[in-house]
Amino acid sequence: MKLKSLLIGSAAALVAVSGARAADAIIAEPEPVEYVRVCDAFGAGFFYIPGTETCLQISGFVRYDININEEGWEKNTKAAINFDARSETELGTLRGYIALRADAFGDGDPVPNPAEDGVDGINPLNQSGVYLDEAFIQLGGLTIGLTYDYFDGISIGGENDSLGGAQVNKVAYDFASNGFNAGIELVDDNDDIDFAGDPDNDSDFVPNVGVTAGYASGPFEVDAVVAYDNDTEEFAAKLRANIEVTEGGKFGIAGVYASGATYTWDAAEWSIAASYTQKLSDTISASIGAQYWADEGFVAGADAFSIGANVDWTPVTNFLVRGQIQYVDSDLAGDSTVAGRIRFQRSF
């Protein structure tokens, strides 16, 4: 009896001690997993940067062009990557945008045969390296940084026209409401600054200026832009209109007039261009366009015209195959040319 009581008492003591130790043990909690959250406030492809309320979109493309003319061909490759960061503030949307580009150009010469010629068979490419295409900050309607001017942003359908435009450092303010839009930009005139006091230096604090206004309603849109060049004291103006004339079909027309060469347009005293783009199916669209330049290069009596067409095929989403042909006749160049292009582009 005494032995039985002793055994029961010992077991109870062990259980009590084990329970106390278990109560004192620290159990490690797993680290919380922070998943990437989709941000749908600014459209498709945005996600929240973990730990912040900033939304980020990463996009870009890989492009391969085969350019063909009477002399031969060249093959060019371009890579692009864009970073678009946005967040809402009490002053409007705060945005930071960076666009990087890199190019590799080939001249299409045959690669020598080392066995026959005794030379290296590598055909070197002309590579640009990575360069900054755009980098700007936006807050509400304010834009500051490197981007393209208003002249560049007003165009018609297809790739068969040349209507000016420039990559610039600028400060701009844009306003849009109920289909109307308007804006003003102050553009760096890129004067050379000589801190040694060169008397021939023409730098000053006066920027180039651009203004734009437009209206869009349903199938119709019209825009105008005027740019003034502080250095040349000349101006250029462009008017553009697009209208959807059939289901999937859009007609565009644009005209440019300039008093002289400016930073954004120096092709001719005036020019007019028109295009028509038609969606033929879910995967195929086509465009045809023509353009005329009067007093090309601001040389009196030197005219030029072009006509071109392109067909776009998207066999799968985000993959473009484009065929393009262009005829150009120029008094200034003294001849006519025919050029073609085959493009392959994967966007993401």
Q: How much is the pTM?
A: 0.81
* 226 residue type, one letter: V
* Positions in the chain whose pLDDT score sits under 50: 1-4, 6-8, 11-17, 20-23, 108-120, 195
**Quick one: tokens of 306?**
């072009």
Predicted local confidence at residue 251, as pLDDT: 97
pLDDT of residue 159: 83
Q: pLDDT tens digits for 301-325? A: 999 999 999 999 999 999 999 999 9
pLDDT at position 17 is 44
Domains of the chain and CATH, by start = 59-111+124-347 (2.40.160.10)
pLDDT value at residue 23: 47
pLDDT at 193: 55
Beta strands in the chain (DSSP E): 47-48, 55-69, 72-89, 92-105, 126-139, 142-148, 167-177, 180-187, 208-217, 220-229, 234-246, 249-258, 268-279, 284-296, 304-316, 319-330, 335-347
pLDDT at 280: 96
pLDDT (0 to 100) of residue 9 = 52
DSSP lists the bridge partners of residue 87 as: 94
Counting DSSP H helices and E strands in the chain, the numbers are 3, 17
Residues 6+ apart with CB under 8 A from 171: 142, 143, 144, 185, 186
Please check whether residue 309 is in contact with residue 325, taking contact to mean a CB–CB distance below 8 angstroms. Answer: yes
